[in-house]
Amino acid sequence: MATAGSLIGGFVTYRLARRGGKAALERRFSRRKVDKVCEIFERWGFGAIVIPALLPPPVPMVPFLLAAGAMQYPVRKFLAALALGRISRYMLLAYLAARYGRQIIAFIRVHGHPVVLAIIVVLLATAAVVFFFWGGAKAKRRRGK
């Protein structure tokens, strides 16, 4: 069901981009980002859809779906690539849940509060560092222009 839902959502995104073309992408995103995604898509094609579909959420998936539609990538190849990536990802997650799920739940039951608190602290610290360096670089670029 997760794969079917992901395919439907990806196909809707693909169709919207296909209708709008590359010009619609350039209206929504910076020209530099559009050119970079299109360059990756031209070079890797099928793989540019499969790899982001395999990877977890911090990896951007939508730009590649939009690029596929805008560049008129064949529908069957698009759906095959998206299905391959999502099926592989969800099968791996299902295997890991079946294999290690009970142990993880038992671990959380015993050590839940300290582990959750530690994860939150690490995520907040990482977000602060990323924001500090990324935000600072962005501000320098704005001042330089």
**Is a pLDDT exceeding 60 seen at residue 6?**
yes
- pLDDT confidence bin for 139, thresholds 50/70/90: low
Distance, in Å, from the CA atom of 4 to the CA atom of 14, rounded to the nearest integer, reads: 15
Average pLDDT over residues 40-68: 84
Predicted confidence at residue 138, as pLDDT, reads 58
- pLDDT confidence bin for 144, thresholds 50/70/90: low
Q: Chain-centre distance of CA 139, in angstroms?
A: 26
Q: Which residues contact 26 (CB under 8 A, 6 or more apart)?
A: 34
62 and 43 in contact (C-beta within 8 Å)?
Answer: no
**Is a pLDDT exceeding 80 seen at residue 50?**
yes
How wide is the angle at C-alpha 64 spanned by C-alphas 86 and 123, nearest 5°? 70
Q: Is the model's pTM score more than 0.85?
A: no
For residue 22, how many other CB atoms are within 10 A of its CB?
17
Across the chain, mean pLDDT equals 84
